[in-house]
Amino acid sequence: MQALNLLGPNEKQDTKLIKTFFVVRYVSFISLSAIIIFSLTLFIAEYVSSDYLKSLNNQIQGELVLRQEGKINSIEEATTELNSQLNAINSIQSKYIKWTQLLSTISSSMPPGIKISNMQTNSNLRTFNLTGIAGKRDDLTIMFNNLNNLGIFEQLKPPSTNLIQKENISFELAGQFNEKIYE
């Protein structure tokens, strides 16, 4: 079998030059893309490192100012001062009552017929007064038992109210929180 030669020598050379041109163009494109990606990566790294260096420089300047003012003489003293401040914050937080959690717990123990109108607390003495209206006498009894079973009260006094009434009973409930309210 013989190959047909439909192109002349000049056209063959032109075809080779076109193929070479496309190969060179493809390699150039890939190289240029790699250079652009590498440049962007270096630019981002430079930007991030410059922010970090500025932050570090500000910290060093702040420490130098404190040393010049005589507030700290060494890293150990600064660490000791920071630890004492953290201990003071911790002691304040340990005396903090988590009101959202406490009120959520109390309200979840209320039967549907109870409407609370007022709650007064004294966090120093850990006491509270709760006033409201109970739809039925049974609702009032259920509420008192539920609150007793929560385990967050030490001295829960039964509601001072007129238990002769069967419906729409106004009540006042007093008690003292235990240490669990700080957890």
Predicted confidence pLDDT, tens digits, the chain (183 residues): 676 777 788 888 988 999 999 999 999 999 999 999 999 999 988 888 888 888 888 888 877 777 666 665 667 777 888 888 888 888 777 677 777 887 888 888 888 889 989 888 887 788 888 888 888 888 888 888 888 888 888 888 777 666 677 888 888 888 888 876 666
Longest dimension (CA), the chain: 121
pTM for the model stands at: 0.48
Distance CA 179, CA 95 (A): 10
CATH 6.10.140.120 fits 99-182, yes or no: no
One DSSP character per residue, 33-80 reads HHHHHHHHHHHHHHHHHHHHHHHHHHHHHHHHHHHHHTS-SSHHHHHH
